[in-house]
Amino acid sequence: MQDQSFDGIAGKFAKNIYGTSKGALRHQLLCDALDELLPSGKLNIIELGGGTGVMSSYLANKGHALTLTDISADILSMAEVPPSVVTYQADLQSVQNLADFDIVLCHAVLEWLADPKAALAHMAEKMRPGSWLSLTFFNKDAALFGNAVYGNFDYIARGMKVKKQVRLNPKQPLSVAQVTEWVEKLGFEIAASRGIRCFHDYLRDPKKASEDYESLLALERQYNQQAPFKWLGKYFHLWLRVT
């Protein structure tokens, strides 16, 4: 297994991720989290696996210094970011200068990697004490729950494995309990957590996500830090401090 790159299907990826209600909602909820959690002042921030730079652009426009990286040259060629954003192609583990940054963003990347645990270990080793990691990952528990709701019982019985991997489907969803164990053993302190898209992906009528987006957003904001709802987020967000 290799790390996933979206070279060759960059346009399809961008449309699927950013051109839908699920992409818009994920981005907005992560913006909410960072608006709440980032320390005050101008920060030096690097985004690992940042895709087309939607989040990097958001933070750069708030006055922070941003560096955007991604494994895919095709994806980066589509990035529309402010001139101040430093952009370069790199896989996560080849980025060695993480100690130069106050904040590391790693959003929806782990589930596309051959060895997500090794990626976390790399970040823990290279980041400096006192810096922060904003981490999100595709939630395996939520994926199982969703497939049960949809009646995909055979798929669940196969361990949610497909015979032919679709390149736009995450290779390996991760359980919150597993990632929590990994990060704590690596020396990260969990300062905050929340679910991302706790309700959107379970709507019986998917059209409601677009037709009543603002009401859905308000509901997500109200409950995404509360148990049991946060555990159902299709993505899970951890705000981690390097000790």
Mean pLDDT per 10-residue section of the chain, whose length is 243 residues = 78 77 94 98 97 96 97 91 96 96 97 95 98 98 94 90 64 93 98 98 93 96 98 98 96
Strands 188-196 and 235-242: antiparallel
What's the confidence (pLDDT) of residue 238?
98
Query: Of 117, 108, 112, which is closest to residue 166 (Cα–Cα)?
Result: 112
pTM equals 0.94
SS3 (DSSP) at 165: coil
What's the confidence (pLDDT) of residue 195?
98
What's the confidence (pLDDT) of residue 121?
98
What's the confidence (pLDDT) of residue 12?
78
Give how far the C-alpha of residue 8 lies from the chain's centroid of Cα atoms, to the nearest Å.
22
What's the confidence (pLDDT) of residue 177?
98
What's the confidence (pLDDT) of residue 1?
67
What's the confidence (pLDDT) of residue 27?
96
Beta bridge mates, 89: 70
Residue ranges in the chain assigned as alpha helix (H): 10-18, 21-37, 54-60, 73-77, 116-126, 140-150, 153-157, 176-185, 208-211, 213-223
With both helix axes pointing from N to C terminus, report the angle between 116-126 and 176-185 in degrees, rounded to the nearest 10. Answer: 30
